[in-house]
């Protein structure tokens, strides 16, 4: 995400970009190879939900730190992520007790839920009216577009305000148009002159 942030930062001089790196952990789907990951993927469709929740707790600590050290109000913070980071950001949107300025989810998905269960990840409605931007490439081989569409449908079923962008010819990556859409979204939800964090 660092090159992505560097590309849009000049248009957002009032925004402080906080870009945490996932810890290196063994990932089951990759034969236990140690790599940066926010949570383990045991096999396709089998995710370490506790690992996701632990990552959400880490994000909560980062938000608290921005409030304490930089004086950034929660309503001036946007939480976003790419791929697994998207999973963490969208999960956090349903669990944070503070209302944020917005959420961005790129090339990711939401943890699956059993058809007979309610929305078990939802523990807070603080961000029920917070805007979301979800972006996804239509030829992503790692996370199929249908998984992003499913996440958007779930969020909208909860009454969330979701702007969904699909990028033609984009795989599991980002593109100039997506960077422009993210910059526009940020300018809308955290306008200038007041310090903000992403």
Residues designated as active site: 83, 140, 172
3-state secondary structure the chain: CHHHHHHHHHHCCCEECCCCCCCEEEEHHHCCEEEECCCCEEECCEECHHHHHHHHHHHHHHHHHHHHHHCCCHHHEEEEEECHHHHHHHHHHCCCCCCCCEEEEECCCCCCCCCCCCCCCCCCCCCCCCEEEEEEECCCCCCCHHHHHHHHHHHHHCCCEEEEEEECCCCCCCCHHHHHHHHHHHHHHCCCCCCEEC
């Amino acid at each position: 995400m660092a090159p992505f942030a560097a590309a849009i930062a000049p248009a957002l001089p009032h925004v402080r970009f906080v870009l945490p790196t996932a810890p290196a952990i063994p990932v089951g789907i990759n034969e236990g190879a140690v790599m940066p990951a926010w949570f383990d993927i045991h096999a396709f469709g089998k995710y370490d939900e506790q690992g996701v929740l632990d990552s959400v707790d880490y994000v909560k600590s980062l938000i608290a730190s921005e409030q304490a050290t930089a004086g950034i109000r929660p309503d001036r913070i946007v939480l976003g992520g790419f791929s697994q980071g998207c999973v963490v950001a969208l999960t956090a949107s349903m669990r944070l007790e503070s209302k944020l300025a917005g959420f961005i989810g790129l090339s990711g998905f939401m943890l699956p839920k059993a058809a007979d269960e309610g929305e078990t990840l939802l523990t807070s409605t603080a961000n029920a009216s917070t805007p979301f931007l979800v972006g996804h490439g239509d030829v992503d081989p790692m996370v199929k577009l249908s998984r992003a569409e499913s996440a958007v449908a779930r969020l909208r079923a909860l009454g969330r305000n979701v702007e969904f962008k699909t990028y033609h010819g984009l795989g599991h990556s980002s593109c100039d148009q997506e960077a422009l859409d993210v910059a526009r979204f940020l300018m809308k939800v955290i306008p200038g002159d007041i310090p903000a964090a992403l």
